[in-house]
Amino acid sequence: MKEFEVRPTPDDPRLSRSVEGIDHEGRAVVTDVVTERPLTLFLNAREIVTMMTIGDHPDLLAVGFLLNQGMLKPDDRITAIDHDDEISTIVVRTERQTDYEEKLKKKVQTSGCAQGTVFGDLMDEFDGVRLSADARIHTSWLYALTKKINTEPSLYLKAGAIHGCVLCEADRPLVYMEDVGRHNAIDKIAGYMFLNAVPPDDKIFYTTGRLTSEMVIKCVKMRVPILVSRSGFTAWGVELARKAGLTLIGRARGRRFVALSGAGRIVFDSDPAEAAEDDRRSHRKGAMPDD
């Protein structure tokens, strides 16, 4: 895959709009705000959930959501994905009928925003996952990724109020997704990986959001061995990462980061002082949201 195989499209008129208002001095201003629109997801004939999303890549979001909720299995064959923008629905059709009624009876509201709901037992399949022991992340890659991601044109830089997730390989960002909820952004990447048969074992996952239990669980279920964020951690997120052997790196800003799990995958091959200028610049321009 090439660098930024999929990247944000901040100039897409469907994803943001201009709104008039006033500033702190009472002067008239025009500012860009991101859109939110409902998308109702069906799996075969069953309605699953209505998500609030910016509206791009609905097929990837639908497939990734179903995968990360355990409603689609890695060996399920998708026969069709039908999206109707006019009535805000998407239907994922599978060759094998799925059994998820019990999951629909066990909703768990998570700590996230924008329809962050996980169905059933959060630990389904978690204990059985074995992440690649051979995966590595070089500190030089981490510094390069931080700079490339934070300076890439995005909806966040245009309008804010949005989360980003990026699938990376070595020092190359591959798939960069944004949405109003970090759950949606990670689900889009999961859907992309499934539909394009992208192998996870050598990948790095970058998110702008907190490293919560749900983010760790989703990353582990996707079989991605390294999770990085510019934001902080929750205690359960750290506990689950250590249990799964996931490399968990947070507060990654320029030359700084903290690893609380899987530090053995980190290769220290760069002088942190070399990234000092990038660190200062990231606080002035191109910084991602902390939440």
Residue 209's CATH number: 3.40.140.10
Closest CA to 183 of 160, 148, 210, 158: 210
Handedness of CA 178, 179, 180, 185 (dihedral sign): negative
The pLDDT tens digits along the chain (291 residues) read 999 999 999 999 999 999 999 999 999 999 999 999 999 999 999 999 999 999 999 999 999 999 988 889 889 999 999 999 999 999 999 998 766 655 565 554 444 443 444 444 556 678 889 999 999 999 999 999 999 999 999 999 999 889 999 999 999 999 999 999 999 999 999 999 999 999 999 999 999 999 999 899 999 999 999 999 999 999 999 999 999 999 999 999 988 999 999 999 999 998 877 665 545 444 444 444 444
Closest CA to 61 of 75, 77, 72, 76: 72
Residue 256: strand pairing partners: 253
Is residue 57 included in any domain, yes or no? Answer: no
**Who's near 142: CB < 8 A, 6+ residues apart?**
228, 249, 252, 257
Could you give the CA distance from residue 84 to residue 288 in angstroms, rounded to a whole number? Answer: 32
pTM over 0.95: no
pLDDT digits (tens, 9 = 90+) for 11-53: 999 999 999 999 999 999 999 999 999 999 999 999 999 999 9
CA dist 223 to 128, 213, 264, 272, Å? 11, 15, 17, 29
Closest CA to 138 of 166, 165, 168: 168
Is residue 280 included in any domain, yes or no? Answer: yes
Residue 144 has phi, psi (to 5 degrees) of -65, -40
Could you give the CA distance from residue 49 to residue 42 in angstroms, rounded to a whole number? Answer: 8
Handedness of CA 273, 133, 221, 94 (dihedral sign): positive
DSSP code of residue 192: H
Could you give the CA distance from residue 152 to residue 140 in angstroms, rounded to a whole number? Answer: 18
Whether 170 and 144 have beta carbons less than 8 Å apart is answered as no
pLDDT score recorded for residue 100: 63
pLDDT digits (tens, 9 = 90+) for 49-73: 999 999 999 999 999 999 988 889 8
Is residue 128 included in any domain, yes or no? Answer: no
Could you give the CA distance from residue 182 to residue 214 in angstroms, rounded to a whole number? Answer: 10
pLDDT score recorded for residue 118: 47
| Counted domains in the chain | 1
Is residue 91 included in any domain, yes or no? Answer: no
pLDDT score recorded for residue 186: 96
On the 0-12 / 13-18 / 19+ scale of CB atoms within 10 A, 239 is: middle
> Where would I find the beta strands (DSSP E) of the chain?
16-22, 28-34, 37-43, 46-53, 78-84, 89-94, 107-109, 117-119, 137-138, 163-169, 172-179, 204-207, 226-229, 247-253, 256-261, 266-267
Is residue 169 included in any domain, yes or no? Answer: yes
Using a pLDDT cut of 90, give the percent of the chain over it: 75
208: containing domain: 137-284
Q: Which amino acid is at 145?
A: L
